[in-house]
Structure 1
């Protein structure tokens, strides 16, 4: 049996807020195979985005274990987690998180430069061409539409050729036409680099494009989803 790219075992997440400690995730166990695409769906507050953050090492589990590519996130400090994400993961958010003072080309090239790639700008330029924005390489985020900014964010996430691609509501701030185009690009980039994709979405039609759909409810994988997984 091939080891999963992502593995969560009895994962719990609790966060401290003004009203006290809030339990977000309750005993999540999930394996994601290499090259698979997983759609995480469920109502608002069900824990979808929190689960994705755990998979990316952006939140720490308060119970259970999270491993990616055989590495135990619980044994890593913040610097080690940041290096792991840099070397192995691409993350796309609903809000584009582009650096406003950098051009599209510079936004895409920056993580490549941080990873020590000498051809960072050449690879960034090629990735912008792939998402149809080669002609916008010298433009700043404020000079681009929302759909164009999300294309730049996709190019930035995929340029390092990540093993794992995490997308949190990547079409949430876009109209239907732009959202559909972004999803087409996301799956194209996944296929191009052979990455494992985990997608959080409110849209069942988008999740249905994945190999497997996992529904969360109240911080748990619901019974129907568990039965389907088995």
Structure 2
């Protein structure tokens, strides 16, 4: 029996461009099951990242509806979306988006503090140690390699124990060895916290580890592959 944690119903996205409106996504309907690992693949410009942003409430659908954990994201205002993400979602970007004036520990702990967790620093240290950065907790982003910065970003996303983990090209800015390590950590965090994982990737080996792969083309679902594609 399936248990959708994310559901998109006839979703469209149109953005303003210099030459007029640009249609990014066209009538996408998609359900992501609780505990599933879903890979979004396709050529550049196919709408993968835009679809991920809609799932996280970071972009607002022009039409249709996006539901997460039974809540209609398209009906929420920005403050409500921010609170929902803080409580239920972790997001990892290709660019690490760390605060340069904060240490690794502070980067991970600050969102937890804002969410009211009294054990913010203890939990932040636990997550940093889990991604192999126990010796780097007092280092600033400028003192760390790209792979280490992405590990901090993973720890920050995982620390709130999110129900849904969204990752946009998490290995895109890394070399092969660091990319493989981040890939292992990403799936390890999924397993450790039981989160549903949705990721955008161009890496065939990363997509192959997913339960299901959705291929986008020209803003539409072109194909679904994997052992859960027929459910």
* Common fold: TM-score over 0.5: yes
Aligned residues of 2:46 and 2:217 also touching (Cα < 8 A)? yes
The answer to whether 1:225 aligns with 2:224 is yes
Q: Secondary structure at the match of 2:4?
A: coil
Task: Give 1:51-130 correspondences, 5 Å limit.
Answer: 51-130=51-130
Aligned residues of 2:213 and 2:225 also touching (Cα < 8 A)? no
State the distance in 1 between where 2:30 and 2:128 align: 34
State the distance in 2 between where 1:9 and 1:205 align: 29
Aligned counterpart, 2:10: 10
State the distance in 2 between where 1:205 and 1:217 align: 20
State the distance in 1 between where 2:213 and 2:166 align: 15
Aligned counterpart, 1:30: 30
Q: Secondary structure at the match of 1:174?
A: coil
Deviates more, 1:100-109 or 1:3-12: 3-12
Aligned residue pairs: how many? 229
Aligned counterpart, 1:134: 134
State the distance in 1 between where 2:214 and 2:24 align: 17
State the distance in 1 between where 2:45 and 2:31 align: 22
State the distance in 1 between where 2:72 and 2:83 align: 14
RMSD: 1.2
State the distance in 2 between where 1:2 and 1:212 align: 13
State the distance in 2 between where 1:171 and 1:79 align: 30
Q: Secondary structure at the match of 1:27?
A: strand
Aligned residues of 2:67 and 2:73 also touching (Cα < 8 A)? yes
Shift of 1:75: 1.2
Shift of 1:3: 3.9
Shift of 1:81: 0.1
Structure 2 runs not aligned, ≥5 long:
none
Q: Secondary structure at the match of 1:225?
A: strand
TM-score by length of 2: 0.97
Shift of 1:84: 0.3
Shift of 1:226: 7.7
Post-superposition CA distance 1:16-74 (Å, at most 9, x none): 01111000000111000101000000000000000000000000000110000000011
State the distance in 2 between where 1:185 and 1:2 align: 26
TM-score by length of 1: 0.97
Aligned counterpart, 2:174: 174
The answer to whether 1:153 aligns with 2:171 is no
State the distance in 2 between where 1:157 and 1:196 align: 13
